[in-house]
């Protein structure tokens, strides 16, 4: 973590945004593909088979639409996060280094790789996020039976 904190956090945000935009593009491609399949499916003498195929394509479209909406919502939430340093207390937008892991308190996204390190992108509303909120550097906490020490908060 040789860079200054805010650019470092901005780079993490850019990685997350790129992944979310990829999810949206994949969902959009799935919608288009399912729509094309549904619309090109011709009615045969086996009417039930035709209706079942159309219904399956519609279900695929609905699933992809939900995935796209979820990614859009996460992007919107990510854009609202203040990345400025919070002093030594954990708040939304904080990058928290413990003696075991690194957590980026923004949205519920999961694990990403950055500069050869695993960074867990978590929501302040998650079980771990609620434990971390307002904790300060040097504070210990337990999560899932494992004791951790907050080494730094950026």
Distance CA 125, CA 98 (A): 19
Residue percentage of the chain with pLDDT more than 90: 71
pLDDT tops 70 at residue 56:
yes
Average pLDDT across the chain, whole number: 89
Could you give the C-alpha distances from 124 to 15, 24, 26, 135, in angstroms and in order? 19, 23, 27, 12
| pTM of the predicted protein model | 0.82
Distance CA 25, CA 18 (A): 10
The model's confidence at residue 49, banded by pLDDT at 50, 70 and 90, is low
Which of residues 152 and 54 earns the better pLDDT score? 152
pLDDT tops 60 at residue 79:
yes
The radius of gyration of the chain's CA atoms, rounded to the nearest angstrom, is 21
CB atoms within 10 A of CB 38: 16
Tell the burial category of 133 from Cβ atoms under 10 Å away from its Cβ (0-12, 13-18, 19+). Answer: middle
Q: Is the dihedral angle over the CA atoms 60, 61, 62, 65 positive or is it negative? A: positive
């Amino acid at each position: 973590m040789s860079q200054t904190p805010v650019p470092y956090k901005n780079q993490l945000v850019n990685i997350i945004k790129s992944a979310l935009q990829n999810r949206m593009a994949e969902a959009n491609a799935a919608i288009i593909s399912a729509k094309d399949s549904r619309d090109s499916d011709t009615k045969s003498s086996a009417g039930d088979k035709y209706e079942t195929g159309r219904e399956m394509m519609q279900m695929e479209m609905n699933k992809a639409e939900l995935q796209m909406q979820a990614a859009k919502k996460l992007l919107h939430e990510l854009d609202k996060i203040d990345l400025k340093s919070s002093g030594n207390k954990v708040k939304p937008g904080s990058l928290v280094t413990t003696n075991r892991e690194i957590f980026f308190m923004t949205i519920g996204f999961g694990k990403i790789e950055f500069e050869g390190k695993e960074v867990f992108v978590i929501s302040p509303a998650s079980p771990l996020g609620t434990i971390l909120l307002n904790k300060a550097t040097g504070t210990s906490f337990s999560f899932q039976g494992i004791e951790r020490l907050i080494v730094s908060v950026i």
